[in-house]
Chain A
Amino acid sequence: EVQLVESGGGVVQPGGSLRLSCAASGFTFDDYAMHWVRQAPGKGLEWVSLISADGGSTYYADSVKGRFTISRDNSKNSLYLKMNSLRNDDTALYNCVKVTRIAALYDAFHIWGQGTMVTVSS
């Protein structure tokens, strides 16, 4: 069974940092690009970042560019999101997502984790 389990969320003050992790299982992790998608409480979905299967290419939403860094460790089947300079409007549930097709970057979001909550508040 394909599974994605996020961790690392919590409460942080504005300007602070957090590192999210996503443990993947049930599929060949290094065959697939991976994404982070977030959802603020009561709001819609927002794509955050993308990393290619080999980790060589990364892309970010304008709202997080320069503050967030996506990475992966294929030897550990793990995806990460380092978040710096956090703002109140970064408060959201952060989901790790696997795409549908091997090696495709700009693809549909097929498998979602349950998410980890990040709350930015003083």
Chain B
Amino acid sequence: SYELTQPPSVSVSPGQTASITCSGDKLGDKYACWYQQKPGQSPVLVIHQDSKRPSGIPERFSGSNSGNTATLTISGTQAMDEADYYCQAWDSSTGVFGTGTKVTVL
């Protein structure tokens, strides 16, 4: 079965850039999405179709996808960005989520 692998944790200082990777076989041939989940809340879609931001998502969130890796970048990270982040893609009519990354803003 298809797998998406993320680093368990990423730490970033306020105002700096956080990059979260998502690795999967030929992931660049698929669309990648990213979700933000804060404790006790439902996930929020922050990036879809590799690099598109839904309405209401700040410009500091951006995405890319090429080869075997999709990347979510948070520029000028704020304390409110501290959360779990999950990538997601579709493979053979099956939805696949990444393992999740906890972003800590120190």
Q: Which of B19-27, B64-72, B74-82, B93-101 is near enough to bind chain A?
A: B93-101
Q: Within 8 Å of chain B (Cβ to Cβ): is A110? A: yes
Name the one of B54, B94, B95 contacting A100, with C-beta atoms under 8 angstroms.
B54
Contacts of B93 in A (CB 8 A): 50, 59, 105-106
| Inter-chain contact A44/B42, CB cutoff 8 Å | no
Interface size class of A (residues with CB under 8 A): 20 to 34
CB contact under 8 A between A47 and B43, given known A108-B49, A108-B88, A110-B54 = no
Majority SS of interface residues in chain B?
strand
Q: Within 8 Å of chain A (Cβ to Cβ): is B45? A: yes
CB contact under 8 A between A45 and B43, given known A50-B95, A62-B1, A108-B48 = yes
Q: Within 8 Å of chain A (Cβ to Cβ): is B86? A: yes
Contacts of A105 in B (CB 8 A): 93
Q: Within 8 Å of chain B (Cβ to Cβ): is A31? A: no
Which A residues have a C-beta under 8 Å from some C-beta of B?
A: 35, 37, 44-47, 50, 59, 61-62, 95, 100, 105-110, 112-115
Give 4 new A-B contacts, CB below 8 A, not counting A47-B94, A47-B97, A61-B94: A44-B86, A44-B100, A112-B42, A112-B43
Which B residues have a C-beta under 8 Å from some C-beta of A?
A: 1, 31, 33, 35, 37, 42-45, 48-49, 54, 86, 88, 90, 93-100
In the A-B complex, list the 5 residue pairs whose CB atoms are closest, starting with the nearest. Answer: A47-B95, A108-B48, A106-B90, A112-B42, A108-B33
